[in-house]
A and B are shown apart, each in its own frame.
Chain A
Amino acid sequence: MARSLPIARPPLLDEALGPGGPIVVFDQVHLSFDDKVILRDVSFTLRTGHTKIFLGASGAGKSTILRLILGLLKPDAGQIFVNGEQVDNMSEDDLMGVRHDLGMVFQEGALFDSLSVRENVGYKLFEELNWKPAEANQRVEEVLGFIGLAEFIDRRPSELSGGQRRRVAIARAMAAKPRILLYDEPTTGLDPITSITVDDEILKLRDLEGVSSILVTHQLRDAFYVAEHTANRNGGEVTFERASPEKSDEAEFIMLRDGGIAFEGNAGELRAVAARDPYIQAFLS
């Protein structure tokens, strides 16, 4: 029998963090390296099933936010809550539990090049959750089928193209069915066609699996595509269409500038602000 996924939460917490609940919360988070301020009083809330899209120039602290959520970095001040647990002062051992409900797609994929695609995608199932090999293999095949790379299961990451590696990275992040997925520049350096296939994976996970997502990017095309489209399942087929205004309001943009939040709002508001603010306008054009 297949294991129950995702990992169980206490019932009260599960209710509190149901649809629309605050699944990731940043409260006045401050971080600096030596004298350089990376984040200054950053606060935001990601609601269950929604999407946050972080925009900003290189070095604006976008990727740092993802690393803070994972607990790979610790803030100098402020509080961070993930899945109802405060992670900013948690020990590495306790963080391992929190990370079981998080999936991260690293820039360039960060696949383990000593392992095959199967071992990469099933890494957490085989090594950390100690699934039976048959169950884990079944899940790996299911996930690779989902992203359309089933025939590459026994390849090495070095034998894949850049876009395929990115999609395998998404497969690895989603294999253990985390409730939250973090994407660090998933489409940077990919051609527009491949970028759309990656974006579609993000939509499928969000709209069909109910995953809450945080997307860090400076590819505006992809940011708006993810915000303004939705995935639907009609029978066995998945289709992508323009989202209703209410649905696209569930995707919020945050623009970071000099460590602070320069803008926060939906796609329409971002376009409106761009008309007034020269910096955002320069960024969007």
Chain B
Amino acid sequence: MERRDFLKISALGGATAALEGCGNPDHQLIRFVPEEDLVPGLATWKPSICTLCPAGCGLIVRVMQGEAEVVRHGQLGLLKMGLAKKLEGNPAHPINQGKLCPRGQGGLQVTYHPDRIKNPLQRTGPRGSGQFQEITWDEALKQLVSQLSPLQANKSGQLAFVTSPLHGLRKNIVGNFTASFKNAQVVEFALFDGGVIRAANSASFGVNAPPTVNLSQSNYVISFGADFLGTWNSPVAQSIGYGQMRQGRPGQRGKFVQVEPRISQTGATADEWIPAQPGTEGIFALSLAHVILREKLRPATAAGHAGSLIEGWSQGLPDYAPEKIETQIGVPAATIARIAREVAGHEPAVALIGDAATAQTNGLFNALAVNALNALLGSVGKPGGIQFGPAWTPQVAKSASSESEKSVAHSVQKLAEQIHSAPDAVKVLLVYNANPVFATPATWQVREAFEKVPFIASFGSFVDETSALADLILPDSSPLESWLDDAPISGSAKTVASLAPPAMNPLHNTRSMPDVLLDVAHQLGGDPAKALPWKTYDEALKAAFAALYKEQGTRSAKDADEFWTKAQDQGGWWSAEEKGIVPSGGKAGGAPAKSAAPEFDGAPGEFSFHFLPFASQLFYDGSLAHLPWMQEAPDPLSTVMWGTWVEINTQTAAKLGIQQGDLLEVASQHGKLQAPALVTPGIAPDVVAMPVGQGHENFTRYASSRGANPISILASMTVGNTSSLAWAATRVKVSPVGRGTMVLFGGSMSEAPPELRHR
């Protein structure tokens, strides 16, 4: 016996063992023949695209050989295959330049989620019960075709396609497919859709797009509610620029002022936090403009068309003198005047607006006011200010999508109204990548409307509140298993056409949504088949990239094939130079925007708090609540994990006798919910705030029945002159109802509920 073994034996107190073979095989599962021969232990990095938010960051995926437990031919076994192991930002990509946010990192779990739908499903139980049985793709497609073919003949538009806002070629495919049915409608739905900012930019600058904000050259940033480092617009691109602005230029550090009633993750990094009253952001911006004009720091004409949209601009905005509006917005006149002088004195300066400031009933006015301020400061179309990148529009076949745009119902709210008023309005509903049943106020009655639709097919990868209503689920392959393309509309002043082949083979019996649509179109024949002449999605993409090559790629490759191959290698194609669109000035005519006071649902006496839902840094709009990494990561500000909370001001809480962790009932005129209190000084005394994302009834084992959904109790208010939900325009009352449970990363484990404690 070796000395070493002897010591080990002594350590065990005399017990020992020399355990020779029991022939115990590592696994009892059979192994399937590998589909690809990879060198074990060697990693390759493949390009991909992040699809978890609209920013469209470029990814690189670390792929290595591994063994996956999969089902093939109805049998469970092990398969050696290339597996995605880690996601990082693509260093060559102009949007995120090698960086990636925590949500993007978590994208890996979409592919390996244990509750992914692995086969096509047919509903067996009542709608919403989540009872399905697995069927084959042949059966599933046959069912869909049999439902769609009667609609081909009639022209009453009984097909509706509800999808998340699409970019790139998927938009064409869905548009062409839907447009081949007469009067059918595509309804793009997202809670944070940016529609108000697009409408404002269209009016002010003639560009129907969110701005590209390159802060790296800015010297002064004033942001009205925009969480531009966390969730707003293109957060990774903006964070890179912000880092440059603050620390990348020796001896020169740009100042940053955040105007919002609750400190967001972005607001927490600001030099100055100004909690203006909700909905007064536009008035604040015009007050700054007033001071700048009054003190002749800029001429009124500098604002051009954007200024002319504001009533009283040429007279120097007399109604917005700081002294007149200080009580309305809750900010001292002296502060307003000081900020105005600072903004005007630090060129290039930029004003941003987003999130809650545009989700008030007067959100459009607020955005127009900030646009006018930017124009006055001379920061439109310039680095350090706001720019508009020329977005790539894939050109393939005749774009029937322009036709479909005409018939867009514009909002899920209108679609629901249509169905409620005429039960025959929609006979077949297709749903892709959107969960309107979860992310709309209960008063819109989207669930009730969808329940009336005779046939719903979902392309969901998970059973969520919307796909639980579906009669048929055609599971989409995960983004890492699919051909991807994207045309980001903001984040870079370059033209960007992202492209990525699948990083790995599908784990389960899933198919990519565009491939399914192409297949269905061929089976239907007629107009759909004509509108979608390709057999597979990559064939369509190749055609789109051939068109792009003809348009602008001649210097980067010798022919279209090389262009296509190179684009796959580097994750897409982007223009060499930054060619921002020169703002042309919007449509002339139309009455100038009058100052509009925000309207709120609920009388201030009874409902004494403004209710402010906010985009979660981890769950975004709730679509990522099913990823355990996102659930277990502490929120950056509150450090809450695995739950939701209501933020309430320290002094207000003391007045109401509320302590940290008390369970609060938050009630609007339209519903109520319960969540534990998080007492914080970083919120105005008459505001309570809640993160969006939790409170799913039905969204995998990790998100179901966890926390509360603030969207459900919102009033059905829309932003004036748009169809966007005014999600910050509800007032609520708050009352303590007992003791709640809230797990803080910063707290002790003894506060954690027993099921979360380590054994």
| Chain B associates with chain A | no
A interface residue numbers (CB < 8 A to B): none
Which of B's residues lie within 8 Å of A, judged by CB? Answer: none
